[in-house]
Amino acid sequence: MIPFTTTQYLLQALNMGLASSMDGESSYTNSFDIKIEEDGFLFIPRLPAGYLIDDSLYQKIFLIASAALYPRLTLLKQNSIYFVPLDTDDIHVQRGLFFPWKKGTSKRLIIPDLESFVASLSGTIIPIMEDFSIDYEKVTSMAIAGNSGSGKSYALVYFLSVLNSISDLVICDPKYDLPSRWARLNDIRVIHPNQNRSKSDFVSEINEMLSEGLNLIYKRQAILFDDPRHKFSHLTIVIDEVLALSEGTNKSIKDSFFSLLSQISLLGRATKVHLLLVSQRFDYQSIPVSVREQLNVLIQIGNINSKTVQFLFPDLDPSGIVIPKGHGVGLIHVIDNEHPYQILPLLLPTYHTAKEIL
């Protein structure tokens, strides 16, 4: 249980921090109270109140409480004000603002031997942090975004290594770099540019591969029509540096690329065909909006501010989120029925691999 002293400590922090914006109203004047719960706390205003209960107030409370509670508790950021009804007949206190939290802070996975670690895994669970995993059965598509040098390729090798035991893989590597070396060592199909071919020719080959994936979806849909419980093996189409493919490509080829991505992301869920996309940013020039809306594992690493998160997390104001310093840190959002809807601070795994690819 959360100790009772947390209530007194948090009330003091809020009284001091909100004094100027609430014209002196505080818990001492019975203007509000807080209630500690196992998964968060409630700010309970007493109405009618002499202060506005709006999103601005909610974000101010978050900023104060986030700093005050860290590192014992990590507040989970909401995109907007979060009202909950309270079980009471007193109309003055029948609602509260809820602030969910997780105990402690996000902890990085340290993996001495990646190959042994992957061999020890079972099922379709992908560990992300010490206390955080995802089930690939519930993943539609994934995106990893980050500025150059943020650790995207390093993170991609981790996901490829884990996915290799869960899913069939096809890799597109415009940079002809780390993913291509990993694919060669693991005998995985990889599409990369060659010296004597144009960019449009390269993207056309990728379109042919995407078309194969789409045809597989159609065949599997026909099987599901007769047998809705049929179990398929996973297929993951991995595209590194998506932005490099969509910029400077012939318009008709680019339109085909976008159309195929959209159809796979929209239709692939039931047939176990996934996209794993990596890019410096995911604006409308890199992928269609329809693809971005189908992503249910969103990872942003590197520099975190309102500009860098605007594409994967368009409604998020990252201020107040305590993000650890270091390489491969950022934010993660998993949209399924198991994880909290909030966006969490992320520390990607650190690992050593005996394979000479890094």
* Whether residue 115 is found in the same domain as residue 98: no
In degrees and rounded to multiples of 5, residue 69 shows phi and psi of -90, -20
* Whether residue 87 is found in the same domain as residue 127: no
* Whether residue 95 is found in the same domain as residue 134: no
Last residue of a domain, which of 103, 137, 169?
103
* Whether residue 148 is found in the same domain as residue 78: no
Last residue of a domain, which of 87, 103, 119?
103
* Whether residue 130 is found in the same domain as residue 79: no
> Whole-model pTM above 0.95?
no
* Whether residue 201 is found in the same domain as residue 280: yes
Query: Can you say how many angstroms the Cα of residue 123 is from the centroid of all Cα atoms in its chain?
Result: 21
Domain count, the chain: 2
Task: Kindly state whether residue 356 falls inside one of the protein's structural domains.
Answer: no
* Whether residue 79 is found in the same domain as residue 115: no
CA 168 – CA 248 distance, rounded (Å) = 30
Nearest to 283 by CA among 343, 243, 332, 334: 243
260-301 pLDDT, tens digit per residue, is 999 999 999 999 999 999 999 999 888 999 999 999 999 999
* Beta pairing partners, 32: 45
Task: Kindly state whether residue 357 falls inside one of the protein's structural domains.
Answer: no
* Whether residue 134 is found in the same domain as residue 193: yes
Nearest to 305 by CA among 155, 146, 153: 146
215-240 pLDDT, tens digit per residue, is 999 999 999 999 999 999 999 999 99
Task: Kindly state whether residue 96 falls inside one of the protein's structural domains.
Answer: yes
Residue whose tokens read 């309270």: 86
Domain range enclosing 34: 5-103
Last residue of a domain, which of 103, 137, 156?
103
List CB contacts of 264: < 8 A, sequence separation 6 or more: 210, 213, 214, 217, 237, 273, 275
Task: Kindly state whether residue 358 falls inside one of the protein's structural domains.
Answer: no
* Whether residue 175 is found in the same domain as residue 217: yes
* Whether residue 147 is found in the same domain as residue 249: yes
* Whether residue 99 is found in the same domain as residue 116: no
* Whether residue 60 is found in the same domain as residue 97: yes
CA 349 – CA 151 distance, rounded (Å) = 11
* Beta pairing partners, 111: 351
* Beta pairing partners, 238: 171, 276
Residue pair 61/43 in contact by the 8 Å Cβ criterion: yes
Query: Can you read off the two tokens belonging to residue 73?
Result: 């508790």
Residue 49's identity, in one-letter code, is: A
Task: Kindly state whether residue 204 falls inside one of the protein's structural domains.
Answer: yes
Mean pLDDT of 126-144: 94
Does pLDDT of 4 surpass 60?
no
Does pLDDT of 156 surpass 80?
yes
161-201 pLDDT, tens digit per residue, is 999 999 999 999 998 888 999 999 999 999 998 877 788 88
